[in-house]
A = this chain, B = another copy of it.
Amino acid sequence: MKYCSHCGAPVHHRIPPGDNLPRYVCDACGTIHYQNPRVVVGCVPEHEERILLCRRGIEPRRGYWTVPAGFMENGETLQQAAAREAREEALAEVAIGSLLSVVHVLHAEQVHVFFRASLPAASYGVGAESLEVMLVRPADIPWADIAFPSTEFTLRRYLEDRAAGREGHHFTSIDRRLQRAPA
């Protein structure tokens, strides 16, 4: 952020009075521009013991596999956003179920939220942002080609819970801010 989105004047990055974090502050109109994590929401759709995966057609991680997920929009619930992403990326009408995982992706300033979902009909297709969509048996999940650590965490917890006959929810954090080169 270089300019005030309210008045167009240059902004400065400093700690406003009474605050304790630096913000983008506009001295011309007085607006303080807060920046907060964005929510990414998705689901693990299942149909007859197979899971719906999409191969990404856009960056980041083009060509790698993931479950349908994307940025939550204003005016929708988490569940509505998860269902919309399945519709957009896999042309699939899913029924969103229980909360499955919450992943704090700290370096990306994102919170990823995933739900269980059922895909009543084996009806799906390749959405505009996908290269390929498939229903796979758990044994056939392409673990080496999964797009994101949050997807892998989510799929593994999903399968563990399913094997144990439970529907828990799981928190974790991923932080590459402090990543160092190997010695």
How many residues of A are in contact with the other chain, CB < 8 A? 40
Tell me whether A77 and B8 are in contact in the complex, defined as CB-CB below 8 angstroms, given that A36-B72, A39-B111, A71-B36 are known contacts: no
Contact of B171 with A79 in the complex, beta carbons under 8 Å = yes
Partner of A75, one of B18, B106, B171: B106
**Count of this chain's copies in the oligomeric assembly:** 2
Check: A104 CB closer than 8 A to any chain B CB: yes
List the B side residues contacting A77 at CB < 8 Å. 104, 106, 171, 173
How close is A95's CB to chain B, nearest CB, in angstroms?
Answer: 15
A122 to B117 alpha-carbon distance, docked (Å): 43
> How far in angstroms is the closest Cβ of chain B from A71?
6
The answer, yes or no, to whether A78 is at the interface (CB within 8 Å) is yes
In whole angstroms, how far apart are the Cα atoms of A77 and B37 in the complex?
Answer: 10
